[in-house]
Structure 1
Amino acid sequence: MKSFLAKISLFIIIGAFLHSCNTIKYVKDDELLLMENDLMVNGETSSDPDALSQMYQKPNTRFLSLPIRLHVYNLAEKNPDSTFQAWLNQNPKRPGRLKNKLSEKQVRELGNYKVGFNNWLRKTGEAPVVIDEKKTKKTTKRLKAYYQNKGFFNAKAKYEIVPLEKPNRANINYSVETGKPYFLDSLYVTIKSPDLDSIYNLHKDKSFLKQGKQYNTSDFYNERERLTVLFRNSGIYNFQLNSIKPTVGIDSVRTDSATGDYKMPILLKINNLNERQNDSIIEKEYKVHRIKKVNIYTDYTFANSRSKYVDSVTYEDFTIYSNDKLRFRPKAITDAIFIHAGDVYKDQDRTLTYKHISNLRTFKYPNIQYEYVNDSLTDLVTNIYLQPRKKFSLGFDIDITHSNIQDYGFSFSTSLISRNVFRGAETLEIAARGTLGASKDVADSEDQFFNISEIGADIRLNFPRFFFPFNTDKIIPKYMLPTTVLSLGTSVQQNIGLDRQTFTGFIRYNWRPSKKNTFNLELFNLQFIRNLNTSNYFNVYTSSYDRLNSVALSSNYVGTDESLNIESGQPDQFIDDVIFNNFAVTDGELSTVLSVAQRQFRLTQDNLIAASKINFLHNSKENISDNTFFQFRTELELAGNFLSAIASVANLEKDSRGNYKLFGVPYTQYVKTEFDYIKHWELSGKQDVLAFRTFFGIAIPYGNSDNIPFARSYFGGGSNDNRAWSAYQLGPGRSASVLDFNEANLKLTSNIEYRFDLFGSFKGALFADAGNIWNVFDDIEDEDRKFNGLESLKDIALGTGFGIRYDFSFFVLRFDVGFKTYDPAYELGNRWFKDYNFGNAVYNIGINYPF
């Protein structure tokens, strides 16, 4: 408690020091430091973020009410070079002593370092925001214009600079009187082109300009954009935005006798196309265009652009050309083309074609051009120029990785890609990889830094369509970007003790019904995990050894001064002697031995998992700068059902527990489902974000299994989970993490994090993580680990803390400190702030944001 109070006192002292720093160090006597901007609208305080964003000057950024970046800036000196020289010459003997101790060059470098550090302080910090009355007047004009654009044409705005009691500091009070708003009255539409008029009338119910709606300038911009997109996707190939001329009848405003509101008529005029021919402007009527023909050039380059094409094929309504013998099956290319002869012209068909051709990974970005047929004014020929990528490509990658188990990792991979393998734009990828990682080894007290290594190889075949026995176009149309991936892989891993070899194979189907929705279906996923070093179990899982050894000592199985010898196999022999009644123990000791034996069997047995899985992801994020969005992911996985269906028919053998075996290994059977929801809110300032996540997952064993394989189970803690606990050190339930690697088959967790700018590329975060794992519907009998309905929710752990991040643009390096705020390992009534101190904090290093 004393240590905790000392740390709090230190923070208070530091805070007081920063608060007392001279914030007006670089503010002149006749200048005022801007402290606050206040906006009053019609006599009431306004927090409208759009209105506040109109201000040219904003106060210095603050963190916990302190202008930290301003203080950093104030640490810099105005003339660091002259200051250094003054310090150097302050003592006549100092230059000589420094040159004798260092060198003349090093003394100069010392001065350069001071200048460089000073520049860094200025760049990292933030100069004081001094009130500029010219900018204040410009802000007032912008505020007036902002409200006029919202329909308050009679808005008036003014400002007042209010000096504060502290010298050289002031607030600016802006006040706006909006007056009554103006509303849209009748909408008159004049369209010269009959084709445009027909298209407009079919979709006029979606107009942004509606009678009775309050005037808003953005509605006029939105309506012009809507109509332009509508016309260009309805056959008007040459439609131009500037043909749309909305006009506000400001001189014809009338006052509603019932409400007193101002109402004004709107004229929407859509002119014909004005086209320059020689020195004159010719007016042309807009007409619907149709595609007459589609030509595809499969091996176009600038070098052969004037060459004669030696091979051509007509397939459906496409003509495909090639300078050499055509290397592609026509359907492989035409399936990616959404422009068809006879269709009306649509911008969206052109965009879809660009997207799907790029998705083939066989061609560089295509070039799609349109030209008129002879003298026709409405018939178009589409020419699609494709430039193939090289048949083979070799790639090398080096990555820095981080996970909840692996603290640091370096992965090296190489891949050979062969394109158009079966002349259908298929891609074959053969890859080899290796990983060298560092993790705390619970089995090795000396603990070498790099103690994880893995080497593996994969072969993957990608089809730009569904590889299926029957045609699926009616179920999943080609605009959904259907793809198929066939993969086989193997790896050998030397991990933190048991080591393992893994064989995997799967058939995966991917498709995107819309820009924001994605589906993944693994029709068949086979994974075989073979543990290579099971004899090392008690070296790795030391908690199991300690529990077993305590029973052996108390029951006098070994001498009082001895322990079970792992190298000679004594722990395994002791378990056998107890289970087969060769050595008598008490009922409590028998329970402990059986528990250890069960966990050893589970974690050392080989696993055969034959599963099917479907995953759905919805992401509402519009672009990389969108900080207000949500993401929802759900997944359903079924394992072992097909093998169970054929087990008796195929006469599969059983093990000693009565479970069916395939290739000598009991296959796993379970159902697993997950729900993951993430929501981000952009707060004041583009870089301030409130992020929230909640996750629920459960895996239920049945049939051929009594528990979930370690590889498919859940764990708590780690840099992407509850950061106040290390990975695998939280739960299950209130069991106090008695095992080395704690895992279970049910997980519930929620996280909330406030992210904000500090200075420069440094970001900060405050977070709270809540959640736990439990055992349910499996063979675990320990009540402390089991989920028992709503009463188990009191065992949800809470961790809070803060983080510092550095943004490298292409990735974010993250450092988080988590404190155990509510720890279910303690008895009820004694769980809050039990280990809430830096000594028991968990320090996490991660790459990119946790969610």
Structure 2
Amino acid sequence: MRNSFTKIALFIITGVIISACNAIKRVPDGKNLLTKNTIIVNEKAVNNEDAFNQLYQKPNGKLLGYRLRLNLYNLANLNPDSTFQAKFDQNPGRYERMSKILSAKQVDRLGQSFLYSGINDFFKNTGEPPVIIDTTKINKSMLRLKSYYFNEGFFDVETDYAIDSTGVKKAKVDYKITTGSPYLIDSVRTTIYTPVLDSLLKTTRRQSFLVPGQQYKTTDFEEEKNRITTYFRNHGAYNFQSNYITFDIDTIDKGKKIDINLIISNYTYQDGDSTQTHPFKLYKISDVQVYTDYSPAYAKAAIKDSTNYNGVTLYSYEKLKYRPRAITDAIFINKGDYFADNNTILTSRYLNNLKIFNYPSIQYEVDKRDPTQHSLIAKIYLTPRKKFSFGTSLDFTHSNIQDFGIGMSLSQTIRNVFNGAETLQISARGNIGASKDFANPKNVFFNANEFGVDLSLNFPRILFPVKTEKIIPKSMIPSTSLSGGFSKQNNIGLDKENFTSTFTYNWTPKRNQTARLDLFNAQYVRNLNPDNYFNVYTSSYESLNDIAQFYNTDPANVDTDGNLIINSGTTNFTNEVLSNQTALSPNDKDYQTVESIEERRIRLSENDFILATNFTFTKTTKRNLQDNNFYVIKAKIESAGTLLSLFSKAANLKKNDNGNYEIFNLEYSEYIKTEFDYIKHWDFSRENVVAIRSFFGIAIPFGNADYIPFSRSYYSGGSNDNRAWQPYALGPGSTNAKNDFNEANMKIALSGEYRFKVLGDFKGAIFVDAGNIWNIADNVIDSEARFDNLKDLKEIAVGTGYGFRYDLSFFVIRLDLGFKLYNPANESGKRWFKDFNLGKSVLNFGINYPF
């Protein structure tokens, strides 16, 4: 009853505050606040975003239906200086009294303080003035609407408007458009003054944007100009520009049809005081020259070294420091080919991707040695970066392992290591962090740390015994990377050492696609302090200790308080249970709990060796950082241990007592894993964005393993996942996250988010998250944690909430408050809305958007 009364009171108070904000406070008499625009086309209201963008006046923005910025502006005192001075004009003695307490100068400055001036400036700057209906702007809007529909093919469009009152000093504007029927293209012919261009165009006429029978649209003419220009410039027409293309449109006595004459003029250039006109030429490349160490200081210097390789001449002002192939592999401008913009762009991209030069300069000049003047010399100027560069970075981090962390890294980059444009990077990193989830007997703030050393060597080509050009051509900008690393961390209490090594191929099949093949990805994880397991995974210890209170028979296993001793007592009691030395039998639930605890302890505390091969493909339509209308698809497949098993069988190696092969006295992991990730954003203008994400991942152990290593398993919950749960606190299945750091080998995640602008760079979001993790085809015996059939999909958890973001341009600070809508850990029939309250909400802090 008390909660209901509080909610009702809060609702009433909020309503009073909102009602007290007078939206028309600053609307002059005889004027109206614009509340809505309506565009009515042929007597039917439309919701065409492009049409609405033609309007000069739009209503004040709303946040969930409330004009927040308008009301903030109305709170401001527009003349705070006059108001401050009026206080003393009305009460002259007040100024004298205040001057005795403060100085006269301080009293005068008080009018510029935040209390009088600053807060009003804040309301004015963050708020939004009322949009007052202006007939002059309405008329301008109608002209723009008329032009918009004219460009859509409606040449006889008529416009009008009406202003309708919606309340005191409030009104809406109805824009009334009568388009008539559209004009259609009847015929398209061409007048091309350069015969060679006429022949070129005939080969690509089927791709034309101007097709008889389709509706006239101005954008189609621009698209056609761009298409023709691009095609010509990729087939030798070096001097061609889009301004040489014009259109003659005839509508006389044609009814609602038009005839189009596409005109392409001859090449025009200035020769002294006269203008010359000649047919266009198609140029071929007669020579490719690369200046490998260019700088302005060398502009007039003599060339000291040169060589010719694969039709490319390499020049150097000093001794040539590069293997010729390292440079020529990046050149797509070939001697004897026609000039092509695409080859210029591809060459520039590839050279820039080498990361040993500043952005290249590519220039063309007519070859005067050719008497026909149909040849070009391509000159490529490369400015090398410094061979050695040193870098440092300081980062403040937040992750699912650390609530707060400070990281620092040092790196040394060495370019052109073997004179083949290779790049070597050596880096060292360190991190200290704080986490409330770790075992922290000394109660120190920074209770987690990590340091590591990494080495990476990159080759701008595919390193393989046989040629791969036919499979992965150099136009895909391939590269090979070898890396290795070592790190030591005290992050989850077992003091891990991590050794990694990879051999990776990268390439870009198309402009917005990337492919990565890890030919081998090796990882060795060594737990330095496995005896600390039950100090970290306290939930497991508490469950085991509760059972020991009833079934332990060995006094040496417990301390003076009767609790199991870590590690000797927990180990002995577990062995006694599983060897049937207690009153528990395998059919007892407590026996199965002990068995499950021991299975998980072994899995999470023993050392892991993983030798995997994986392939990842990513495709995105995102054009830049400001693009909010795109999708991303990412797919990955990984196989681990298969090659080791084939080798072990071929070498006839013996299996251990568990029936598994060992490498370096360690059972290696064997599994197949696949993941699929899809992200889609829709931009509804004015910074209103809807974003969704779906993820599915599964890892199946087989052969030499019956479980997935912790480093390759999945978790659920956290700032980038289901935000109504803490990291590792959801699942598996309906188990109510009874363990610490809950993980499993299958995951489903679905998220949707509506993002909107609140004030300036301060933005908000409403979100819904769904998903869970399960164990499947591994050695977990708990039925509540396993995925056995499609009925287990009812264990998908659902959370919702709202969040706030502050955009700092280079990154976004994010706070999300999540509420549990559907909790599969509750008993059936009590899963919906039972945990939907503030007391069980979860506040997540994150950097940048979750997806």
TM-score range, shorter chain: over 0.9
How far, CA to CA, are the matches of 2:397 and 2:422 in structure 1? 30
Q: Do 2:461 and 2:480's aligned partners in 1 also have CA atoms closer than 8 Å?
A: yes
Contact 1:140/1:174, CA 8 A, preserved across alignment:
yes
Are 1:359 and 2:353 matched, yes or no? yes
Task: List aligned pairs for 1:71-470, cutoff 5 A.
Answer: 71-87=71-87, 108=109, 111-114=112-115, 115-164=117-166, 166-251=167-252, 253-255=253-255, 262-374=256-368, 376-444=372-440, 447-470=443-466
Query: Which digits, 9 at most, give the CA deviation of each residue in 1:484-526, with x for residues without a partner?
Result: 1100100000113222010000001000010121100000010
Deviation per residue, 1:421-451 (Å, 9 max, x gap): 1110000100001112222224337753322
1:702 is aligned to 702
Q: CA shift at 1:144, angstroms? A: 1.0
Verify the 8 A CA contact 2:245 2:265 in the aligned structure 1: yes
Question: Any idea what SS the aligned residue of 2:825 has?
Answer: coil
Q: CA deviation at 1:404?
A: 2.5
Which runs of 5 or more structure 1 residues have no equivalent in the other structure?
Answer: 256-261
Task: Please report the TM-score for the alignment, with normalisation by the length of structure 2.
Answer: 0.96
Query: In structure 1, how many angstroms separate the alpha carbons of the residues matched to 2:443 and 2:96?
Result: 50
Do the aligned residues in 2 keep the contact of 1:539 with 1:566 (CA within 8 Å)? Answer: no
Residue 399 (structure 1) shift: 2.0
- Secondary structure at 1:647 match in 2: helix
Residue 761 of structure 1 is matched in structure 2 by 761
* 8 A Cα contact 2:193 2:265, kept in partner: yes
**1:106 Cα deviation (Å)?**
6.4
CA distance in 2, matches of 1:803, 1:118: 27
Q: Secondary structure at the match of 2:659?
A: coil
- 8 Å contact kept, 2:84–2:111: no
Aligned to 2:612: 611
TM-score w.r.t. the length of structure 1 is: 0.96
1:541 is matched by which residue type in structure 2? Y
Q: Structure 1, residues 797-847: CA drift from partner, whole Å, max 9, x if none?
A: 000000111111111111100000000011111111111111110001111
What is residue 477 of structure 2 aligned with on the other side?
A: 481
Listed one character per residue, the Cα deviations across residues 771-791 of structure 1 (whole Å, up to 9, x for unaligned) are 111111001111111112210
Q: Tell which deviates more after alignment, 496-505 or 102-111.
A: 102-111
1:452 and 1:39 map into 2 onto residues whose CA distance is: 60
1:118, CA displacement in angstroms? 1.6
Q: In structure 2, how many angstroms separate the alpha carbons of the residues matched to 1:836 and 1:447?
A: 33
1:363 touches 1:387 (CA, 8 Å); kept in 2? Answer: yes
435-444 or 276-285, which deviates more: 435-444
Identify the match of residue 548 of structure 2 among 526, 545, 552.
Answer: 552
DSSP 3-state at the match of 1:813: strand
Say what the alpha-carbon RMSD is for the aligned residues: 2.0
Paired letter, 1:791: K
Distance in 1 (alpha carbons) for counterparts of 2:561 and 2:498 = 38
Report the residue type matching 1:150 in the other structure: E
How many residues are treated as equivalent by the alignment? Answer: 842
Partner of 2:670: 669
> Take 2:496 and 2:559, find their aligned partners in 1: how far apart are those partners?
36
* Aligned mates of 2:254, 2:642 — CA distance in 1: 74
Q: In 2, are the aligned partners of 1:410 and 1:436 still within 8 Å (CA)?
A: yes
Residue 731 of structure 1: aligned partner: 731
Give 1:373 deviation, angstroms. Answer: 1.2
Q: Deviations over 1:383-436 (max 9, x none)?
A: 111111111010111222222232222221111011111110000100001112
Correspondence for 2:646: 645
Equivalence map 1:2-13=2 (5 Å):
2-3=2-3, 6-7=6-7, 9-11=9-11, 13=13
Identify if the C-alpha distance between structure 1 residues 233 and 833 changes in structure 2 by more than 3 Å, giving closer, same or farther. same
Shift of 1:78: 1.1
Change (3 A) 1:143 1:16: farther
Deviation at 1:83, TM superposition (A): 2.7
Contact 1:439 1:496 in 2 (8 A): no
Deviation for aligned residue 1:647: 1.6
Which of 524, 527, 535 in structure 1 is aligned with 2:523?
Answer: 527
In structure 2, the gaps of 5 or more residues are none
What amino acid sits opposite 1:139 in the alignment?
S
- 1:72 CA displacement: 1.3
Is the 2:408–2:429 Cα contact (8 Å) retained in structure 1? Answer: yes
Q: Determine the C-alpha separation between the residues in 2 that align with 1:754 and 1:354.
A: 39
Measure how far apart 1:468 and its partner are. 1.3
Q: Is the 8 A contact 2:394 2:408 kept in 1?
A: yes
Alpha-carbon separation, structure 2, partners of 1:283 and 1:785 = 80
**Structure 2: distance between partners of 1:455 and 1:87:** 63
State the distance in 2 between where 1:504 and 1:698 align: 23
Indicate the percent of aligned positions where both proteins have the same amino acid. 48
Corresponding residue of 2:627: 626
1:665-694 CA-to-partner distances (Å, cap 9, x unmatched) read 2100000000111111111x2411110111
Paired AA for residue 452 in structure 1: A
Cα deviation, residue 568, structure 1 = 6.0
User: Counterparts of 2:19 and 2:809 in 1: how far apart (Å)?
Assistant: 32
When residues 105 and 507 of structure 1 are mapped into structure 2, their CA distance, relative to the original with a 3 A threshold, is: farther
2:596–2:782: 8 Å Cα contact kept in structure 1? no
Cα distance change on mapping 1:744 and 1:96 into 2, 3 Å: farther
Conservation of the 8 A alpha-carbon contact between 1:441 and 1:447: no
Rate the CA distance shift 1:740–1:230 in 2: closer, same or farther, 3 A.
Answer: same
Equivalent-residue separation in structure 1 for 2:744 and 2:27 (angstroms): 61
Any idea what the Cα deviations from partners look like across 1:519-552, whole Å, max 9, x if unmatched? 0000001000011121211111111111110111
1:658, distance to aligned residue in structure 2 (A): 2.5
Residue identity in the other structure for 2:259? P
Contact 2:545 2:564 in 1 (8 A): no
Does the Cα contact within 8 Å between 1:549 and 1:563 map onto a contact in 2?
no
- Segment of structure 1 superposing worse, 493-502 or 540-549: 493-502
In the TM superposition, what is the alpha-carbon distance from 1:588 to its structure 2 partner? 3.0
- Change in 2 beyond 3 A, CA 1:2/1:478: farther
Q: What is the CA–CA distance in structure 1 between the aligned matches of 2:568 and 2:8, rounded to whole Å?
A: 52
CA contact (8 A) 1:404 1:720 kept: no
Name the SS for the 1:474 alignment partner: coil
Amino acid in the other structure paired with 2:574? I
Task: Please give the alpha-carbon distance, in whole angstroms, between the structure 1 residues aligned to 2:104 and 2:717.
Answer: 55
Separation in 2 of the partners of 1:87 and 1:752? 53
The code of the aligned residue for 1:322 comes to S
After TM superposition, give the deviation of residue 17 of structure 1 in Å: 2.2
1:264 and 1:47 mapped to 2: Cα distance? 29
Deviations 1:746-766 (A, max 9, x none): 101110000111111111101
Partner of 1:151, secondary structure, is: coil
Which stretch of the first structure deviates more once superposed, 400-409 or 579-588? 579-588
Instruction: Tell me the alpha carbon deviations over residues 538-569 of structure 1, each in whole angstroms, 9 at most, x when there is no partner.
Output: 11111111111011111254589823344563
Partner of 2:569: 570
Contact 1:765–1:804 under 8 Å retained in 2: yes
What is the CA–CA distance in structure 2 between the aligned matches of 1:651 and 1:106, rounded to whole Å? 92
Counterpart-to-counterpart distance in 1, 2:404 and 2:76: 37
Q: Quick check: 609-618 or 120-129, which moved more?
A: 120-129
CA gap 1:167/1:796 in 2 versus in 1, 3 angstroms: same
Task: Tell me how far 1:471 sits from its aligned partner.
Answer: 1.3
Looking at structure 2, the residues matched to 447 and 783 of structure 1 have their Cα atoms a distance apart, in angstroms, of 37
Higher mean alpha-carbon deviation, 71-80 vs 802-811, is at 71-80
